[in-house]
Amino acid sequence: MTCLIICEKNNAAQRISTILSSGKYNKTYVNKVPVFRFAYNKKDCTVVGLRGHILGLDYPPEFKRWQLHNLEELAKTDPIKKPTVGAIASALKTVSSGIEEIVIATDFDREGELIGAEALEIVQKKGMTIKRARFSALTKYEVESAFENLIDIDMNLAKAAETRQIIDLAWGAALTRFVSIVSDQTGRDFLSVGRVQSPTLALVVDREMEIEKFDPKAFWEISANLEKKDEKGTFTAKHDHGIFWEPEEANKAFALVEKAKEAKIGKVVKEEKKDYPPNPFSTTQFLLDANRMGISPARAMSIAESLYTEGFISYPRTDNTVYPKSLPIKKILQDLVMNSDLSKEAESILSQSSIRPTRGKKETTDHPPIHPASGARKSKLIGERWAIYELVTRRFLATLAQAADVVLTNADVDIEGEKFKAQGHNTTYRGWYDIYTYYKVKDTFIPDLKEGDKVPIIQVQKRESKTKPPNRFNQGSVIKEMENLGLGTKSTRHEIIQKLYDRRYIDGTQLQPTTTGRALIKALEESAEQITQHEMTSTLEEDMELVAQGKKKMEEVIDESKDMLLQSLKTLEKNKDKVRKEIKDALNKQSFIADCPDCDGGQLMIRWSKRGKRFVGCSGYPACSNTYALPQSGLVVPHDEKCDRCGTPSIKLVQKRRKPAKLCLDLDCQIKENTKNGRGKKAPAKK
């Protein structure tokens, strides 16, 4: 029998070929596309790797020009499919000739199933048997098991992914065109609006506005530093009242205990407690923990995908937090002992009398939680690749480890008739803490106390504090919030965050909206609020899940989405003047640097060349052609002071891991200063 195996990417095709052929494949090229051939299980196999989606959606030619008058028609129009990678499509047609069986071996999820279905649309599949190889890791065991137990392709999954493609294209195309046209921001400076992107940006903008409007309120806390003779270390007791909101009340309580020299210990309660290990890694929790390590979600997912393709970890896109019974846990542990730099930790798990993994709340059947698939060493996986592999492996080992033992102590303390409480936290057995080293536990010292003990008071203090605004989102916490609100999926959330950065809508590790991002959301919230709220988007997400389960028709969900989009467009049309003013005012504010020194009434603004390079130019162009070069990286903001040397307007340049720098816009002046200080010799071109 002849068999064509279709993989998602070339590196996956090569790895599957290596496993099934034991490395004895023949590699050739068809239209410059790598093709692998070998014999397996009495079949003559041909393996081709795609480049992700090889069919793309686009609108008919009449919608190429961006115009306001045809947006409703665009929203109603179904897009058409076109090959996006002609060489691969042609190669597929060539190698499928005479084939008796096709096996789809793409990633098993919605996108992977759609990619496989797209390939089937291209090949000549008449009379062929169509099967699916389902695996969660590109290891010898998983791949061989998948090809020995082929299943049918899940067209409902593919339809759910195609539904998302069509809906997101329609929303993005129609809303982006509307906002960009009314604000005169077409071409490379267009303003992107999206079904998931805009509600996510609204989370960041609304949080920033909440912080700005926050009115801090003063409060007071009273505590005492105590010590017990013959025991090293002091301990703290806090007033049982907790927070005092009124200064008079705090002052009254403090006056009673301020000069006290001794405290009397009341009831002491000790509780032995177990701190159980964390749950297995879902995609969201993985991205959260990677972000805490300083690796962005987009970067973490990119690394995880490469480690998966190379056979080091399991498939990194999953909501599952329960290991399936079929997962060969002991086999993985033995491999880690033999072939990993984490062998000591793996051996400690194997030495336990029993191995019982933790279980999360969500159990799915598509893929297991993220786990190591094979051993690896730091010498091979360097830098962030090792950091991600180690994170995944330590999390897996921690879920199998023993619980930590903790002793909690609560003691009542009497100081001059005022009630205080002292609390202690002491770890007596570290268990999983020693494996999942990213989790930091801080013990709180408290001596061995007994009821009736009298202990000296070192100091009693009253501390004034103020309530703090909510924290800004970071990339990890906003992804968690997106999951809670049903915005996007495990496969798309990190991409949405990265898109907001790329569009210059947000900035910083603690997410702050730019002036443009804030203006866009403010304009949409005032003119078509439903676009920025999560309810409409999460409803469509739920409907797409029903399509994946075969409980709802693809066409029904698309029609529902069209109705929502058309209603949004009508609302925007009524308020287009307000949208135009809000966005244009914000763009001008964000781009303004200073008044132009070469003309009367002109303003120096940040501009972008056709080559994508930024510079400062006069708003009076072409009458005034005054321009200045800009650094191409870092955040540029106006500086109130002009250059001390030449009087030219200055900017403040904010770059990662550097102090903000004041720079003169005149590069000749900069070069003279740098040369005087022994830095630099040549001035770059002025524009």
Please list the active-site residues.
315
Pairing of strands 129-132, 101-105: parallel
The span from the CA of 177 to the CA of 184, in Å, is 10
Phi and psi torsions of 584, nearest 5°: -65, -40
- Cα–chain-centroid distance for residue 105? 27
In 3D space, the residue among 583, 538, 610, 530 whose CA is nearest the CA of residue 178 turns out to be 583
Token readout for 610 is 């056709």
CB atoms within 10 A of CB 32: 8
Backbone angles phi, psi at 445, to 5 degrees: -70, 135
Please return the burial class of 86, using the count of CB atoms within 10 Å of its CB with bins 0-12, 13-18 and 19+. exposed
Task: Provide the pairing of β-strand 418-429 with 234-239.
Answer: antiparallel
CA neighbor of 20 nearest in space, from 152, 142, 150, 151:
142
Query: What is the distance between the alpha carbons of residues 678 and 671, in angstroms, rounded to a whole number?
Result: 10
Q: How far apart, in whole angstroms, are the C-alpha atoms of residue 685 and residue 363?
A: 60
Closest CA to 15 of 153, 157, 149, 135: 135
Q: Which secondary structure element, helix H or strand E, spans residue 252, and what is its range?
A: helix 247-257
- Torsions phi, psi for 340 (to 5 deg): -135, 150
Contact predicate 516/523, CB 8 Å: no
Question: With contact defined as beta carbons under 8 Å apart, do 572 and 528 qualify?
Answer: yes
